[in-house]
Chain A
Amino acid sequence: MSHNPVQSFHPRVHEAIHNPQIRANFRKAMDGLMDKRLAAFPSDDDLQKMRDLAASIRLRALAKLPELLEKLEANLTAQGIQVHWAENGDQACKIILEICQRHNAKSVIKGKSMVSEEMELNHYLAEHGIDALESDLGEYIVQLADETPSHIIMPAIHKNTDQISDLMHEKTGTNKSRDVEYLTAEARQQLRERFEKADVGVSGVNFAVAETGTLCLVENEGNGRLTTTVPPVHIAVTGIEKVVENLEDVAPLLSLLTRSATGQHITTYFNMISSPRKEGELDGPDEVHLVLVDSGRSNIYQDDELLDTLRCIRCGACMNHCPVYTRIGGHAYGYTYPGPIGKILMPHMVGLEDAKDLPSASTLCGACGEVCPVRIPIPKLLVRLREESVAGDKQHDNSMVRGRGSKRNTTETLIWKGWAKMHKHGGLYRIGTGAATVFKGLMPNKIGAWTNCRTAPKLAASTLHEQVKARQLAQAKVQKEQQKSEGEA
């Protein structure tokens, strides 16, 4: 997979922070989303109970994951939906390509799917002569711009109306306009033609219900319904963790998902698909496929602590509330999933060798963990991955994290080794601190990135030990003199 090289992480962040347009677009959008979410949960008591319930539903599904996946497969197969398994994105791409080729498909229409972004499906299909067009308006805009989504729920959030108007004018010939209704209506027309002609529809899945063999899709636009209904073939693609046990589990998850994501009490459409077109039915695809993708998920599954990563229902609330995401936007991260969830997920997908800067790109303020509808302890997982990136190969004997230890550097290791030794041996400590005090004048004013925007800390004229000792001596002297004067009196 051709992910952006991580060497560019810091320059990307620098660029984003100094781009006033990016800063303004994200600040405005995230402020709005935080307010809307808050208004959607008028009772904190209910919210906390809902979060407990949702967390239990996701944990229950994970506890029974292999059984539920088999049950899902058995039910879907019995109802006529063909199930495929892929170890990674490349395998999933191949499966989808084969289905397309079997139908001589030239044109694929897509509903929004982050898993398809993860495996760079559009690119793969294009290489094989198949044109895949995104139909979610935000994804369509991003595709016109030849970019990737900057937010998992609102892919084009980094652009403002003027930028979108210019883009559509340049790429599709629409008039330049600040009228969002006009731009939306034009996009509808452009996409309708493509829906009519599409040979295959590709969608994601929000919840896959094992009990009934049902694929659930959450959306506002109706493009997901068109994608899964109009073309003769529908291919749904999803991560193996998206399964839930029972149909009733879906109700609270849906309620939390839409409210956490955008503050909507529900989305316009909740689309539940359980079979291809049955005899006598007049629309719907003749063939439905589900591609289950692993891509590192079964690896995350091995570890009791990291497992919580897989609870995620992809609402995006963690990024909406993240002070880092709000300032740098989604593209600076350089990976499919940005923000806090991306920081705990991408290291498993691409390995810490590449993603080692992600767990550190956080202030650990805790906002992500507080708003997560399924109570993923994101800050705790960030700390764990920081540890893994520096010493995962030493501290966690059987750690499964790819690229563990790859952030360790010799200087830092030596400094901390010395530090630990000094604190274990009193003599060494006194010599060390004494020497530092004597030579404090040699300390540079610039110490790495820290002093780019801060003043370097200065060592005190004497060490704490020396000061305490001096104080004790002074006190003893005072006491002695007091006793002396009392004796004379």
Chain B
Amino acid sequence: MSQARNAILGRLRHRRDGALTAPTSDFSVVSNKQWSDEEKIDLFQQKIESVHAEVHRVTQDNWLETLKTLVQAKGLSDLLVPQKAAVGQAIRADWSETLPELRSYDQPVTEWKAELFSGIDGAVTDVRAAIAETGSLVLWPDQDQPRLMSLVPPIHFAILDAHQLKNTFYEVIVSEGWASAGMPTNALLISGPSKTADIEQTLAYGVHGPKELIVLIRQ
């Protein structure tokens, strides 16, 4: 439809009222937000809990024990875990048979779609960063932790290191140089479990994605 393309661009280029002048943008209202490390953790927790996520403050030493306790308490029978990411390797290195069976997302989704959609109880992923202002996790899914890992299983455990917390989304984009580095296939902000208020504005969780989002903040 290059005909349509040329016609549309032609109309936009030859504006009846003449060329437009682009205004400049003052980003100070979003770039001047800064909190201390402690404040960032508090704010992140407050914001993400306000949208029904569960947060546990843990240490580098005890996070795995907390995870084990949680998966047992939730009564999971299996758990999708990354193979290469440090989080996945640590879990695999120190797991026992009495705990939920560890599974890997190691084949294209088409090969095991039915099982992924109905046979996996939970998944663990790490995160790339997190945002204090909005209580958001930043994920860049890849081969090791594919896109559906944080979406299809009913419970998503996210492991976040406190030092990964940034003030704002704006800061994440600018300080990590997203625009110049080039964007991945898919980048995500996740802020809480899947939810809807489409039935008479009544909140319900897990409408399409996870019903529970559990964040472990390692301090």
Chain A interface residues (CB < 8 Å from chain B): 25, 28-29, 32, 46, 49-50, 52-53, 56-57, 59-60, 62-66, 69-70, 84-87, 91, 95, 135-138, 141, 154-157, 159-161, 164, 180-181, 183-185, 187-188, 191-192, 195-196, 211-214, 220-223, 225-226, 229-230, 232, 240, 246-252, 254-255, 262, 264-278, 280-284, 292, 294, 298-299, 301-304, 307, 398, 400
Determine which of A212, A255, A281, A307 lies in contact with B185 in the assembled complex, contact meaning CB atoms within 8 Å: A281
The number of inter-chain residue pairs (CB within 8 angstroms) is 267
* Contact A282 to B107, CB < 8 A, known contacts A85-B1, A251-B168, A298-B12: yes
Which residue, A50, A52, A181, has most C-beta atoms of chain B within 10 A? A181
- The number of chain B residues touching the other chain, given as a range, is 35 or more
Task: Give A304 to B22 CA distance when docked, in angstroms.
Answer: 13
Q: Are A59 and B134 in contact (CB under 8 A)?
A: no
Task: Give A137 to B205 CA distance when docked, in angstroms.
Answer: 12
Chain B interface residues (CB < 8 Å from chain A): 1-2, 4-5, 7-9, 11-13, 15-17, 20-30, 47, 50-51, 105-110, 113-114, 117-118, 133-136, 142-143, 146-148, 151-152, 168-170, 173-174, 178-179, 182-202, 204, 206-210
Quote the shortest CB–CB distance from A259 to chain B (angstroms). 10
Given contacts A29-B201, A270-B189, A282-B107, 11 further A-B contacts (CB under 8 A): A56-B24, A86-B1, A154-B197, A164-B199, A185-B206, A212-B179, A223-B208, A249-B25, A266-B136, A267-B191, A269-B194
**Across-interface contacts of A192 in B (CB, < 8 A):** 117-118, 208
Q: Are A281 and B16 in contact (CB under 8 A)?
A: no
- Give 17 CB contacts A-B under 8 Å: A69-B8, A161-B202, A180-B199, A184-B204, A188-B208, A196-B114, A221-B207, A248-B179, A251-B169, A268-B51, A270-B188, A274-B184, A282-B146, A283-B147, A284-B186, A298-B11, A302-B16
**Across-interface contacts of B27 in A (CB, < 8 A):** 53, 248, 252
Give 9 nearest A-B pairs by CB, closest first: A222-B209, A138-B198, A63-B22, A222-B208, A63-B20, A270-B189, A184-B204, A251-B170, A49-B29
Which residue, B114, B174, B178, B208, has most C-beta atoms of chain A within 10 A? B208
Determine which of A154, A225, A303 lies in contact with B198 in the assembled complex, contact meaning CB atoms within 8 Å: A154
Q: Are A160 and B4 in contact (CB under 8 A)?
A: no
Q: Are B30 and A62 in contact (CB under 8 A)?
A: no
**Across-interface contacts of B9 in A (CB, < 8 A):** 66, 69-70
Task: Give A180 to B174 CA distance when docked, in angstroms.
Answer: 41
* Contact A156 to B199, CB < 8 A, known contacts A283-B147, A298-B8: yes
Quote the shortest CB–CB distance from B76 to chain A (angstroms). 18
**Across-interface contacts of B200 in A (CB, < 8 A):** 25, 29, 159-161, 164, 180
Which residue, B8, B24, B184, B189, has most C-beta atoms of chain A within 10 A? B8
Q: Are B4 and A275 in contact (CB under 8 A)?
A: no
**Across-interface contacts of A159 in B (CB, < 8 A):** 200
Q: Are A50 and B29 in contact (CB under 8 A)?
A: yes
Q: Are A269 and B190 in contact (CB under 8 A)?
A: yes
Q: Are A274 and B183 in contact (CB under 8 A)?
A: yes
Task: Give A25 to B146 CA distance when docked, in angstroms.
Answer: 41
Quote the shortest CB–CB distance from B209 to chain A (angstroms). 3
* Contact A294 to B26, CB < 8 A, known contacts A95-B1, A225-B147: no
Quote the shortest CB–CB distance from B141 to chain A (angstroms). 8
* Contact A252 to B170, CB < 8 A, known contacts A49-B29, A160-B200: yes
